[in-house]
Amino acid sequence: MPDWKHLVSERLGRTRLPPEEREEVVEEIALHFEECYDELCEVGSPDPEGYTLAQVPDWKALGRKIQRVKEGLMSKRIRVVVCGMLTGALAGVVAVAMNLVGLLFFSTDLLPDIPAAIGRASPATLDRWMGPIMAMAGGVWTIWLYTLMRSSHRPGTKTSAMTGLAAWIVGVLGAAYFSSLGHIPLNVFLGAALLSLPAWLAGTMAGALLYEASERKPSPALTAA
Amino acid sequence: MTNNHKPPSSLKRGSAELAILAVLAEAPLHGYQIAKRIRQQTAGVVSFDVASLYPVLYALESRGLVKGEWEESATARRRRRCYHLTPEGRRRLKPLRREWRDFFRALNRLARLADA
């Protein structure tokens, strides 16, 4: 019987996979060949080795495909975190931009006071970072929700918009609770809720788009190779 | 119009995904068993060889739909990598089955229309 492990390792050629991972791939394919060969021998095939090896017409192509799949895709957990952080960051940026546009159109007299107001509003490091941290955590949660929703609905813009809306409702309900306790003034709560809807929808759709893209496409370095 | 008899790659990829997830929904299997089970259940109409099976299997694993684990067997000469469906894979299989059922119903309707 041929030494399948040696044969597969030789034909698969060099890959950029970590040695342990490459070894596992070689072992798995060699075992597949071995079982196939044994079965062909049992049924009295005239050329069991030839038939077994015919399963891979292009070893280079197989090596490239395996490498692209194994190396080019981030794990689901990492993708959820990265795309979720982007969702939160983008939603934050859109909300700030909308605030500034609103000020520009409706309260131009307030514009010169903004830098001073920002300085006064950020006395401690934790307070300064709490907003972005909460937005990113909310983004990660939203993309995680999207991965659940796309299992029952089709992945795409509609599902991501539905997810963004669901996340926005949850956020607004939470803020409404704090507003009812008097921690957030009603006018601030209503303004923020209104502004955060388009911001959160845009952020979720962009994050979901990136999530889908990261699932299907290999990294640019691999595409170039 | 070109006369291309090969199915589009998205169709092939989708059907491969369905075939693998469907057989793994019945029981955890290793690579060779997956290919064999698909061939048996489809009476040889659908078959996977090494070149077509493993890239799809690894892609499904990267997406968290299946999980492969090395298992030591007392009877087998070597350890085997056995694949099982993850909860997410099980969730993905349901809409996938529906999509393919709808697709084949549509094709059936079209074929009947063409025969008439």
The whole model's pTM is what? 0.55
With a cut of 60, say whether residue B92 has pLDDT above it.
yes
Of B70, B81, B91, which has the smallest distance from its Cβ to A151's Cβ?
Answer: B91
User: From the list A32, A69, A154, which residue is nearest B32 (CB)?
Assistant: A32
* Nearest partner of B82 among B66, B97, B98, B96, judged by Cα: B66
Mean pLDDT of chain B: 84
Instruction: Tell me, yes or no, if B37 comes closer than 8 A to chain A by beta carbon.
Output: no
| Domain extent listing, chain B | 9-115
Dihedral of alpha carbons A8, A10, A12, A14, sign: positive
Mutate to test the interface with B, among A32, A66, A150, A222 (most CBs of B within 10 A): A32
Q: What is the pLDDT of residues A146-156, one digit of tens each?
A: 988 887 777 78
CB A67 within 8 A of CB A16: yes
State the pLDDT at residue B12.
63
B9-115: in CATH 2.40.10.10? no
Residue B4: count of CB within 10 angstroms of its CB: 7
Is the CB of residue A154 less than 8 Å away from at least one CB of chain B?
Answer: yes
User: Which A residues, 134 through 153, put their C-beta within 8 Å of a C-beta on chain B?
Assistant: 147-148, 151-153
**B59·A73 Cβ contact <8 A:** yes
Q: Are A56 and B35 within 8 A, CB to CB? A: no
Q: What tens-digit pLDDT sequence spans chain A (225 residues)?
A: 789 999 999 998 877 677 888 899 999 999 999 999 999 999 998 899 999 999 899 998 898 888 878 766 556 778 888 899 988 888 888 877 877 776 666 666 655 665 665 555 555 555 667 777 888 888 899 999 998 888 777 778 889 899 989 988 988 888 888 888 877 777 777 877 887 888 888 889 999 988 888 765 444 443 443
Which residues touch B13 (CB under 8 Å, ≥6 apart)? Answer: B56
Give me the total of CB pairs closer than 8 Å, taking one residue from chain A and one from chain B.
Answer: 70
Query: Which member of B50, B59, B63 has the closest CB to residue A32?
Result: B50
Reported ipTM exceeds the 0.85 cut? no
B12 has a chain A CB within 8 A of its CB: no
